A = this chain, B = another copy of it.
């Protein structure tokens, strides 16, 4: 028996992408209780094809998580004409984007199954989500932070520490509450307000003050 689609093998046919999208919506609806039969029915494909393409249930889940992760790329920052204003707006934009993704039903569902399977997996969904979640965020934000430090707008020793503080100020208890099933009103206005507040707090802690930045609540 062939080991089916390898993780490194990213050649997905359109048909397979459709199947993974169906699996995603089922994951949102039913969580980890989705069955191979339900995926096959929803995607109008045979279970035989599922097993041929993805090996087993775990492989299907892994491919689904990776398929979603592949869709959330992009949005780097431009290191042109840098100022306190562009640093601030960059941080705010980053924070609001992040909160929007984080509070989305797909992100919540994916993190749920990854947390449930963490550690005891052959493919280890937890590591995949970790890699495409917090770690990817760190990689995307750090250039902006270092640019801010190099231009003398911020001051910190350890970029990673600074990132993790920003993480805390942005996410706070939102993610864990959502994962635990707390019904959460997170309107567009609230997201933007939180992004501004987190940015102001972050600059108050790490920014080089010419004039004292006041708190913004």
Q: Does A43 contact B (CB under 8 A)?
A: no
Do A169 and B167 touch (CB < 8 A)? Answer: no
Q: Does A58 contact B (CB under 8 A)?
A: no
Q: Does A11 contact B (CB under 8 A)?
A: no
- Identify which of residues 154-207 in chain A touch chain B, using a CB-to-CB cut-off of 8 Å: 156-158, 161, 164-165, 167-173, 175-177, 179-182, 201, 204-206
A residues contacting the other copy or chain, number (CB 8 A):
45
A149 to chain B, nearest CB (A): 14
Do A168 and B157 touch (CB < 8 A)? Answer: no
If the complex has contacts A134-B176, A177-B130, are A157 and B217 also in contact, measured as CB distance less than 8 A? yes
Q: List the B side residues contacting A157 at CB < 8 Å.
A: 217
Do A158 and B217 touch (CB < 8 A)? Answer: yes
Do B175 and A176 touch (CB < 8 A)? Answer: yes
Q: List the B side residues contacting A181 at CB < 8 Å.
A: 118-119, 124, 126-127, 130
Q: Does A10 contact B (CB under 8 A)?
A: no
Q: In the bound complex, what is the Cα–Cα distance between A180 and B118 (angstroms)? A: 5
Contact residue among B112, B134, B177 (Cβ-Cβ distance under 8 Å from A116)? B112
Q: List the B side residues contacting A172 at CB < 8 Å.
A: 164-165, 167-168
A117 to chain B, nearest CB (A): 8
**Contact surface of A with B, Cβ cutoff 8 Å:** 30-33, 111-112, 114-116, 118-120, 124, 126-127, 129-130, 133-134, 156-158, 161, 164-165, 167-173, 175-177, 179-182, 201, 204-206, 215, 217
Given contacts A133-B180, A205-B205, 8 further A-B contacts (CB under 8 A): A112-B118, A115-B116, A115-B180, A157-B217, A164-B172, A167-B173, A168-B173, A206-B215
A sample of 30 inter-chain contacts (CB < 8 A) reads A30-B120, A31-B116, A111-B115, A112-B116, A112-B118, A115-B179, A119-B181, A126-B179, A126-B181, A127-B180, A127-B181, A127-B182, A130-B177, A130-B180, A130-B181, A134-B173, A134-B176, A156-B217, A164-B172, A165-B172, A165-B201, A168-B168, A168-B169, A168-B170, A168-B172, A168-B173, A171-B173, A171-B176, A175-B176, A176-B176
